[in-house]
Structure 1
Amino acid sequence: MLLFEVRWLPGTDAGQREVGQRSIESCPEMLPELSTNFELLVAKLSGGSTLGMSIGRSPRRPAMCLQCDGFSNEEVELQITNTIRMYGNAVQFIENPDPTKTFGYTVGLTAHGHPEFLVRGLDMVTTCELLNPLAQRVITTGEIFGHQHTAHYLGQQLLYFMRLPDAGAHLLEAVVRYGTAMTALEIHIIDSWPPPPELLAEAARRDGTGCGSDTSWWGRPSAN
């Protein structure tokens, strides 16, 4: 991930005292999109005023959620739509004070006839670095993943996929766009084959019928 810091000034003279700043974040492959969204960014920062701006790499962690950063629902929807139009998918990341309850998921794979991906318990950067390449494998090469499939991750670990029976309760952005056509696979990172017994047991409960554990989502097994 690349972190940028945007500073805005009361004029075009870079020597003037700055009146505010905003940190933003972008994956390297998203840099073309960054330039297309500067008009929206400038409007949000300036509030309609004429401001000078300087841009540099930011050492600080930026806001992870556009809505938390002051963007409206309509602006967030536009950002997701533009990302899907450009790359075929977007990633939604849901923060929580409890790091075990953070999760991220793809939006866009349903349009390619494939389940969306969801992973929980990772930070935002790792989530994007995991989900985006997987999504591109589906979009660009037609690769298909399914319940209890595996895939290599970072050359050493394995990804283990399981059907997510209550996907509509968690992948809200995907539900809004695709309705009941949307299904999802939950991804677990495991060190070796076979998966831990509790994961195999959970997968067996979800097999065939799509029904899973009766426990709450956060109480279900996760290898991440």
Structure 2
Amino acid sequence: MNPLDDLRAKIDGFGWAVRNVASADPAECLSYTVGLTAHGHPEVVMTGLPPEVGQAFLNIVGEIVVCERGRFTAGEPTSEADGPAMPVIQVDDSSGLTAVEALYGGVSALQIVWTDSAGRLTWDAGYNNPPGSQPLSGRPNT
């Protein structure tokens, strides 16, 4: 089964799928939903996380959107996971979401920005992770 057929099968079964782009460089890791578009919701992206972590979180996002009819909105933080609220930003550069483009044509997406171990965001002073460890696909709503 080719990768797009695999995604289609998951979308048919669950209502969404998660696509992971893995790399030896964590800053190049990307996880994103595919299928939320069909539910009238932007796809959701997370960057800089190991694939299994991004996939686990985005499956929670898919469950909220598809099963609970919830919504994520740029500028409104989410607190769907244990720990501090995480900002949601509008994705300006969706060029990496190739599976969404292949299946749906246009791409509308949001990025959930995760915090470091001290609860700081990538744009906060004292952020514990290396610069560029969580690339942003849009501008923060700060």
CA contact (8 A) 1:160 1:190 kept: no
The structure with the larger Rg is 1
Q: Deviations over 1:39-84 (max 9, x none)?
A: xxxxxxxxxxxxxxxxxxxxxxxxxxxxxxxxxxx52222111100
From 98, 112, 135, give the equivalent of 2:62: 135
Percent identity between the two aligned chains: 25
Q: Equivalent residue for 1:176?
A: 102
CA contact (8 A) 1:198 1:221 kept: no
> Mapping of 1:139-150 within 5 angstroms?
139-150=66-77
CA RMSD, aligned part only? 2.6
Q: Equivalent residue for 1:95?
A: 22
Gapped runs of 5+ residues in structure 1?
1-73, 200-216
Q: Which has the higher strand share?
A: 1
Pairwise CA distance, 1:155: 2.5
Change (3 A) 1:76 1:143: same
| Matches of 2:122 and 2:6, distance apart in 1 | 41
CA contact (8 A) 1:163 1:186 kept: yes
Gapped runs of 5+ residues in structure 2?
125-133
Change (3 A) 1:220 1:78: closer
CA contact (8 A) 1:164 1:183 kept: yes
TM-score by length of 2: 0.79
Q: Equivalent residue for 1:185?
A: 110
Select the structure with the greater relative contact order (CA < 8 A; seq sep ≥ 6): 2
Runs of 4+ in 1 over 2 A off after TM superposition: 194-199, 217-222
Change (3 A) 1:88 1:163: same
Change (3 A) 1:95 1:147: same
CA contact (8 A) 1:138 1:144 kept: yes
- 1:160 is the counterpart of 2:87: yes
| Matches of 2:28 and 2:34, distance apart in 1 | 19
Q: Deviations over 1:180-199 (max 9, x none)?
A: 2x2000111136xx975837
TM-score by length of 1: 0.52
User: Which letter maps to 2:22?
Assistant: E
Q: Equivalent residue for 1:105?
A: 32
Change (3 A) 1:196 1:99: closer
Q: Tell me the matched-pair count.
A: 128
- SS in structure 1 of the partner of residue 59 of structure 2: helix
Change (3 A) 1:120 1:141: same
Q: Which has the higher helix share?
A: 1
| Matches of 1:153 and 1:132, distance apart in 2 | 11
Change (3 A) 1:218 1:140: closer
| Matches of 1:86 and 1:179, distance apart in 2 | 21
| Matches of 1:219 and 1:189, distance apart in 2 | 11
CA contact (8 A) 1:161 1:187 kept: yes
